[in-house]
């Protein structure tokens, strides 16, 4: 009987000690894919808002997508300066790691 009690106590101690250190390892884990998608969606919204608030760019049809913090600009810009300005605005959004400017120049 004493052996059974000892085994139960050892198992309980093992479970409790494992449970107490598990959060330490979880904190080092990579974010879940859903969290990354949420961040990308938020970055996309912020980048689109930055472009929409600019009087020179708001009328242009500039698309923005963000995947893993990398923003891609698509569509047409009215000039090379407008293309650069759009890329600069998006790169200034906190959390955007890189901007791929795939904007083309609109025909005049």
Alpha-carbon distances of 55 from 51, 82, 85, rounded to whole Å: 8, 11, 11
User: What are 55-106's pLDDT values in tens digits?
Assistant: 988 778 899 999 999 999 999 999 999 999 999 999 999 999 999 999 999 8
Q: List domains and CATH numbers for the chain.
A: 33-105 (3.30.1340)
Nearest to 97 by CA among 65, 74, 69, 67: 69
Give how far the C-alpha of residue 64 lies from the chain's centroid of Cα atoms, to the nearest Å: 14
User: What are 11-57's pLDDT values in tens digits?
Assistant: 555 655 655 555 555 556 666 566 666 699 999 999 999 999 999 88
Q: Are 80 and 58 in contact (CB under 8 A)?
A: no
Q: Are 90 and 99 in contact (CB under 8 A)?
A: yes
pTM of the model: 0.66
- Report the distance separating Cα 40 and Cα 30, nearest Å: 15
Contacts of 92 (CB under 8 A, 6+ apart): 50
């Amino acid at each position: 009987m004493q052996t059974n009690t000892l085994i139960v106590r050892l198992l309980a101690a093992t479970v409790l000690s494992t449970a107490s250190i598990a959060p330490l390892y979880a904190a080092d884990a990579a974010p879940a894919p859903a969290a990354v998608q949420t961040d990308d969606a938020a970055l996309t919204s912020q980048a689109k808002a930055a472009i929409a608030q600019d009087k020179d760019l708001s009328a242009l049809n500039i698309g923005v997508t963000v995947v893993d913090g990398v923003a891609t600009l698509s569509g047409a810009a009215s000039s090379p300066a407008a293309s650069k300005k759009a890329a600069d605005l998006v790169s200034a959004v906190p959390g955007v790691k890189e901007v791929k400017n795939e904007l083309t120049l609109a025909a005049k």
